């Protein structure tokens, strides 16, 4: 039975994340959204504080903490800004965690250490223009040429690509077999000739995050920079997404809690019909329901994080946590705007941004429909 009592260390870190989020990130979040640009000073501060290496061992330059602590960070940062938290999440759970799990000791020194100690930022290129939910539809190739592989193709929606140093990219090394056997993973330095990052894609939400199409035109990668064995790329990608979903579930919980907290603060002050909005039973009951659903989503998220920490199978738990948390978060953000009426709809109050940001939690790292496919696949085996 999993215990959800946080340790003193976890509580201390939670407080540190909360303080940093409130004191630093909250102050720039609105401006970043308006400018559609990440504040690189905030990124630099988070690197300095070790936020980019939370679940990695201190021997490899990380903070030596656990996945639950990483989820606590994701929640606290997401309470104030989802663009900042997705930057941390893609770097940590999709890129660096894959290297931690599948790299050789030499590769870990070369690629994981600078990611874990925050000197470099990572990204993850799996999705292609014609291969989203159906990852196996990918057409990017990597052809062997002596001691190199030559990558050709295009990846879309690569988060962090505008400023990432390390690209974990997936390409077919054998087109004669299905992608789950013919795909391989490669670690590519941003400055490799032929790697071209396009301008950021204009989006509805998480507008300060970097997200672009990336072209790979005859990108020559040394064979030693293949992650895992040839043909294991699909497995590596699926494993990365399993772990990533814990971070997105925590992000959803954070966005929802941030929106509800903001709405409660406002509705206690705002008076109509001679009473605060919080005096109406409709508001009270719905707020109670919202908090109950957020708490349930948080417990599912922590359950998945603890399962990963305990090296148990967390595939179903992570999909379940993401499905529930993303659904709850979208509901709560919609409610938050409604609690606040016209002011909720205005840019001046943070809930308008949260409602735009939260939609993505039902889409990336597997849509809610894909979460149901993962869960039912394991239930009905
Ligand atoms: C802001 C943003 C950031 C992202 N970051 C990254 C990143 O860093 N790296 C990366 O590789 N990718 C990234 N992605 C891609 C993301 O993971 C995909 O958008 C997502 O997996 C869905 O793929 P798609 O957009 O092609 O939708 P599609 O696969 O075309 O799906 C369209 C709709 O059909 C539904 N659908 C599809 N197949 C089925 C089915 N079998 N049964 C039922 N319904 C189905 C889907 O659930 C969805 O509702 C990002 C996307 C966005 C928008």
| 129 alpha carbon – ligand 1 mean position (Å) | 10
Q: Which one of 92, 132, 244, 376 would you pick to mutate in the ligand 1 pocket, going by the greatest count of ligand atoms within 8 A of its CB? A: 132
Per the residue annotation, which of 100, 143, 365, 369 is the catalytic one? Answer: 365
By 3-state DSSP, what share of the chain in percent is helix, strand and coil, each rounded to 5? Answer: 60, 15, 25
Question: Ligand 1 within 6 A of 211 CB?
Answer: yes
Quick check: is 143 catalytic? no
Mean pLDDT of 154-169: 98
Mean pLDDT of 340-357: 97
Question: Ligand 1 within 6 A of 369 CB?
Answer: yes
Q: Which residues contact 171 (CB under 8 A, 6 or more apart)?
A: 138, 140, 141, 142, 149, 151, 153, 183, 184, 186, 216, 233
Residue ranges matching CATH 2.40.110.10 in the chain: 122-231
pLDDT in tens, 207-249: 999 999 999 999 999 999 999 999 999 999 999 999 999 999 9
Which ligand 1 atom is the nearest neighbour of the CA of 369?
Answer: 47
Which ligand 1 atom is the nearest neighbour of the CA of 161?
Answer: 8
Q: Which CATH number fits domain 8-116: 3.40.190.10, 3.20.20.70, 1.10.540.10, 3.40.50.300?
A: 1.10.540.10
Cα 370 vs. chain centroid, distance in angstroms? 16
pLDDT for the residue numbered 5: 87
Give the CATH fold of the 235-379 domain: Butyryl-CoA Dehydrogenase, subunit A; domain 3 (1.20.140)
Joined together, the tokens standing for residue 110 give: 């070369």
Compute the CA torsion angle 289, 292, 297, 300 (nearest 10 deg): -140
Question: Ligand 1 within 6 A of 364 CB?
Answer: yes
CATH architecture of the domain 122-231 equals Beta Barrel (2.40)
Residue ranges matching CATH 1.20.140.10 in the chain: 235-379
Res 14 pLDDT > 80: yes
Residue ranges matching CATH 1.10.540.10 in the chain: 8-116
pLDDT confidence of 1, banded at 50, 70, 90? very low
Which ligand 1 atom is the nearest neighbour of the CA of 126?
Answer: 11
Mean pLDDT of 110-121: 98
Question: Ligand 1 within 6 A of 64 CB?
Answer: no
């Amino acid at each position: 039975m999993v215990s959800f009592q946080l340790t003193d260390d976890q509580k201390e870190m939670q407080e540190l994340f909360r303080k940093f989020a409130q004191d630093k990130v909250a102050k720039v979040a609105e401006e970043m959204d308006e400018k559609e640009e990440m504040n690189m000073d905030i990124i630099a501060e988070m690197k300095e504080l070790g936020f980019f290496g939370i679940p990695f061992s201190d021997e490899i330059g990380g903070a030596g903490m656990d996945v639950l602590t990483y989820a606590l960070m994701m929640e606290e940062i997401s309470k104030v800004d989802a663009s900042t938290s997705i930057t941390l999440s893609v770097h940590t759970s999709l890129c660096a965690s894959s290297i931690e799990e599948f790299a050789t000791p030499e590769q870990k020194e070369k690629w994981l250490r600078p990611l874990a100690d925050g000197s470099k930022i990572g990204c993850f290129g799996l999705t292609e223009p014609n291969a989203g939910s159906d990852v196996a539809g990918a057409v990017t190739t990597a052809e062997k040429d002596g001691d190199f592989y030559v990558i050709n193709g295009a990846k879309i929606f690569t988060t962090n690509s505008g400023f990432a140093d390390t690209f974990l990219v997936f390409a077919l090394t054998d087109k004669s077999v299905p992608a789950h056997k013919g795909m391989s993973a490669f670690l590519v330095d941003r400055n490799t000739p032929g790697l071209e990052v396009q301008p950021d894609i204009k989006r509805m939400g998480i507008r300060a995050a970097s997200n672009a199409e990336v072209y790979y035109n005859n990108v020559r990668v040394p064979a030693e920079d293949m992650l895992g064995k040839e043909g294991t790329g699909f497995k590596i990608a699926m494993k990365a997404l399993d772990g990533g979903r814990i971070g997105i579930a925590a992000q959803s919980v954070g966005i929802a809690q941030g929106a509800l907290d903001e709405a409660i603060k406002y509705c206690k002050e705002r008076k109509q019909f001679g009473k605060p909005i919080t005096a109406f039973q409709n508001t009270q009951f719905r707020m109670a329901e919202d908090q109950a659903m957020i708490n349930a989503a948080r417990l599912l998220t922590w359950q998945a994080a603890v399962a990963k920490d305990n090296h148990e199978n967390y595939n179903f738990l992570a999909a379940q946590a993401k499905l529930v948390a993303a659904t709850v978060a979208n509901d709560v953000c919609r409610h938050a705007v409604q609690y606040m009426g016209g002011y909720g709809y205005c840019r001046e109050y943070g809930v308008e941004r949260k409602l735009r940001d939260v939609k993505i939690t039902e889409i990336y790292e597997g849509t809610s429909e894909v979460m149901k496919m993962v869960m039912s696949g394991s239930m009905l085996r």
